[in-house]
Structure 1
Amino acid sequence: MAVSEDPRVALGRRLFFDTRLSGDGSLSCASCHEPRKRFSDGRAVAVGRGQGRLKRNTPALLNLEARGPYFWDGRAATLEEQALLPLTDPQEMARDLASLERELAVDPEYAARFQEAFGALGVTRDTLASALAAFERTLVSTGSRYDRYLEGDRSALTAEEVRGLGIFTGKGECTTCHGGPLLTDNGFHNIGVAGDDPGRFEAEPTPRATFKTPSLREVARTAPYFHDGSAATLEDVIEHYARGGEPLAKGARDIHPLHLSASEKRELAAFLRSLDGVEAGLPLTNLSGAEP
């Protein structure tokens, strides 16, 4: 499916792949949010400026509308705010926005695109954020086999996957946090992952070690898992939940041991793999440059 011709979306798309958005010209948004990896990067934790390792896993940028607040700690209330924070973070893209505004304003093509998209407002940090967010809103995964099953196609899931769905909604208690159309409650929970990361507490005074519930759409294609990327596979995730988290995890956790059998774990993993969908809004080919 072709990207919308809305000028704000087209501008945001170009910006997303442009390495000029980083201070040293080495990184674009797509450096960590790769289209072929469902707009994640496949690493345990993200890599920022100078190939420095960051402390958290890169979230997939899919189905972001109405998913706020954003980031693992929820520090961005809107997509527009989310779009700018990595640009200015000294460990990520380390870009000075004032200099970026000036650079884009004197670029004839960008000046024309901002004029088309925003009129007299031109190039500002607000219009930059608006364009990036407009593009991000087009990145949607839909049409999974699970969706077809819910729509009445009982052949869409195998018998094993149907049993896994029963565990997902029943004994596994997965829908406590992963319910609704996007399979997330958009909340913050302590799921017993070991480490010193304070999570949501960094953004506002809440219990330590709580993190944003990710959507499970495309979950089989967006490994590794958890805020620190410590679970390499879906099977690792299920084992983690089955035992109620890590013994050395800090804070009051929101999960407990599930006592799943080996067959139940296999069935649950099979169901989770049915959540892969079809990405709308962006082709997954010819994405090597700023203007695919």
Structure 2
Amino acid sequence: MNVLKHGRSTLLLKLSIACGVVFATVQTQAVSHAAEKNASAKKTNKVLLGTPELTSGIPGKGPLTKKEIKEWLSQPENHEILEVTLPLGLSAGAAQMVGLKENPLTRAKVELGRQLYFDTRLSSDNTISCASCHHPDEGYGRHTQFGIGVRDQEGGRNSPISYNRILSGPQFWDGRAATLEEQAVGPIANPIEMANTHEAAVKTLKGIPGYQMQFKKIFKDGITIDNVGKAIAAFERTLVTGPSPFDYQEKLKPFLKMDKEDLEDLEDVYQPILAQTKKHPMSKSALRGMDLFFSEKVNCAACHVGPNMTDEKYHNLGVGMDAKKPDLGRYEVTKQEKDKGAFKTPTIRNVEFSAPYMHDGSQKTLEEVVEHYNKGGTPNPYLSEKVKKLNLSDQDKKDLVAFMKACSGPFPKVETGRLPQ
């Protein structure tokens, strides 16, 4: 590419390098998807998350047999520490990935975590699994106002989503679990969730030969509640969302400001990105909503910011604060006055699939969520200073909802069955 003739070598070179990285990411995705279809493709320790490579289970049908598990565990590549990358959009947060040093990912560990995630035998009456409240068919949440545990007991908060946790530190709406590993084992002993004890859960797993084999091979100290948490957390860190129409639009944005000559010089980079954007288009309404979302007037990005579109912080939006005994959220963890009624900012990515919304599941639709912000939240002494009346038009509200839906990308295909006998 001869950029010197235009006298803009520095600008174009920088753009070329940056966009070349983007294009390489898109190429990597294409290669990865092609590899998934090739059953004979040799495994490497480099894996692009968001694809079914780590979540599709041990090949086969029906319950996992000891023979299948033994064969799986005998393959050295299943125990190699994986070098993972994130898909377009989330990839900007690569440096923010959490927990990989303390709990390295391997195929065998992720697969063990997948099995545990869907296994109801972790509960006291064999009816509830992690997926009961965080199911892939319901946006890794649940379409009920509150989480529902054993004997149909109802909790007091909506089930938070379990995807894109690789970019998230403290867990739960109030951040009471410092790590994903800690969060993973919490519900097992919660009396209104799985209503079990950690000791009883470990005893159950020790009575299942398929789990005995896997824990013994993967962890030096075998089946412990800490290792249960590590396995489930490893699996959950592979649950990431793929590129959304918004992500493709963002990669196209630098080119929209360039003149024809610049675009000609960057043809090899520009055209593939343009093609991807056309293949995954944003509607005119979503484009208007995007401008509103990031505008000073609306400024949703004050909290929904970064690669995963969340600041990972806690804010009082006024939700539920008009109740006689409001849920005080983060305050119950920190005991700091400023945290009363504050809850963790959820991601906007794939949010359309996990209704109802807010920590108390009180808002059934994204339209209701937008209206809550439009009115300035619910007044209370601890309301976040970031929540103000917006005076949105009906079209503005529709556009914001359209934009949030344009932030949805594909979930990886996950095997929900195939558990040890």
| Structure 1 and Structure 2 fold alike (TM over 0.5) | yes
Per the TM alignment, residue 220 of structure 1 is displaced from its structure 2 partner at its CA by: 1.1
Gaps of 5+ in 1: none
Counterpart of 1:42 in structure 2 is 143
Equivalents in 2 of 1:108, 1:208: separation in Å?
47
Question: RMSD in angstroms over aligned alpha carbons?
Answer: 1.6
Per the TM alignment, residue 13 of structure 1 is displaced from its structure 2 partner at its CA by: 0.6
Alignment pair present for 1:253 and 2:378: no
Equivalents in 2 of 1:106, 1:51: separation in Å?
27
Secondary structure of the 1:40 match is: coil
Secondary structure of the 1:162 match is: helix
Equivalents in 2 of 1:43, 1:53: separation in Å?
10
Amino-acid identity (%): 40
Residues 16 and 290 of structure 1 are in contact (CA less than 8 Å); yes or no, is this contact kept in structure 2?
no
Equivalents in 1 of 2:381, 2:356: separation in Å?
21
Per the TM alignment, residue 141 of structure 1 is displaced from its structure 2 partner at its CA by: 0.7
Number of equivalences: 286
Residues 122 and 204 of structure 2 are in contact (CA less than 8 Å); yes or no, is this contact kept in structure 1?
no
Per the TM alignment, residue 81 of structure 1 is displaced from its structure 2 partner at its CA by: 0.4
Q: Which runs of 4+ in 1 moved over 4 A?
A: none
State the structure with more CA Rg: 2
| Structure 1 residues 4-23: aligned runs within 5 Å | 4=54, 6-23=107-124
Q: How high is the TM-score relative to the length of structure 1? A: 0.93
Per the TM alignment, residue 252 of structure 1 is displaced from its structure 2 partner at its CA by: 3.0
**What is the CA deviation profile of residues 129-182 of structure 1, one whole-angstrom value per residue up to 9, with x for unaligned ones?**
100000101111121111111121454222221111010001211000001110
Secondary structure of the 1:278 match is: coil
The aligned amino acid for 1:144 is S
Secondary structure of the 1:12 match is: helix
The aligned amino acid for 1:115 is K
Alignment pair present for 1:115 and 2:216: yes
Q: Alignment partner for residue 367 of structure 2, among 235, 238, 256?
A: 235
Residues 192 and 250 of structure 1 are in contact (CA less than 8 Å); yes or no, is this contact kept in structure 2?
no
Residues 165 and 271 of structure 1 are in contact (CA less than 8 Å); yes or no, is this contact kept in structure 2?
yes
Alignment pair present for 1:134 and 2:266: no
Q: Alignment partner for residue 185 of structure 1, among 301, 307, 311?
A: 311
Alignment pair present for 1:59 and 2:160: yes
Residues 174 and 329 of structure 2 are in contact (CA less than 8 Å); yes or no, is this contact kept in structure 1?
yes
Structure 1 residues 136 and 172 mapped into 2: Cα distance closer, same or farther (>3 Å)?
Answer: same
Equivalents in 1 of 2:134, 2:207: separation in Å?
27
The aligned amino acid for 2:249 is Y
Q: Alignment partner for residue 347 of structure 2, among 215, 227, 236?
A: 215
Alignment pair present for 1:71 and 2:197: no
**What is the CA deviation profile of residues 71-97 of structure 1, one whole-angstrom value per residue up to 9, with x for unaligned ones?**
001001111001011111111111111
Residues 32 and 46 of structure 1 are in contact (CA less than 8 Å); yes or no, is this contact kept in structure 2?
yes
Q: Alignment partner for residue 285 of structure 2, among 160, 179, 185?
A: 160
Per the TM alignment, residue 68 of structure 1 is displaced from its structure 2 partner at its CA by: 1.6
Q: Alignment partner for residue 174 of structure 1, among 275, 300, 304?
A: 300
Residues 289 and 402 of structure 2 are in contact (CA less than 8 Å); yes or no, is this contact kept in structure 1?
yes
Structure 1 residues 164 and 17 mapped into 2: Cα distance closer, same or farther (>3 Å)?
Answer: same
Counterpart of 1:287 in structure 2 is 416
Equivalents in 2 of 1:140, 1:200: separation in Å?
26
Counterpart of 1:205 in structure 2 is 335
Counterpart of 1:33 in structure 2 is 134
Counterpart of 2:185 in structure 1 is 84
Equivalents in 2 of 1:173, 1:212: separation in Å?
18
Secondary structure of the 2:241 match is: strand
Alignment pair present for 1:263 and 2:388: no
Equivalents in 1 of 2:158, 2:390: separation in Å?
26
Q: Which moved more, 1:236-245 or 1:44-53?
A: 44-53
Secondary structure of the 1:179 match is: coil
Equivalents in 2 of 1:172, 1:123: separation in Å?
50
Secondary structure of the 2:411 match is: strand
Residues 200 and 209 of structure 1 are in contact (CA less than 8 Å); yes or no, is this contact kept in structure 2?
yes
Per the TM alignment, residue 251 of structure 1 is displaced from its structure 2 partner at its CA by: 2.9
Counterpart of 1:125 in structure 2 is 225
Equivalents in 2 of 1:253, 1:57: separation in Å?
21
Q: How high is the TM-score relative to the length of structure 2? A: 0.65
The aligned amino acid for 1:83 is A
Which structure has more relative contact order (CA 8 Å, sep 6+)? It is 1
**What is the CA deviation profile of residues 108-127 of structure 1, one whole-angstrom value per residue up to 9, with x for unaligned ones?**
11100112221x31001111
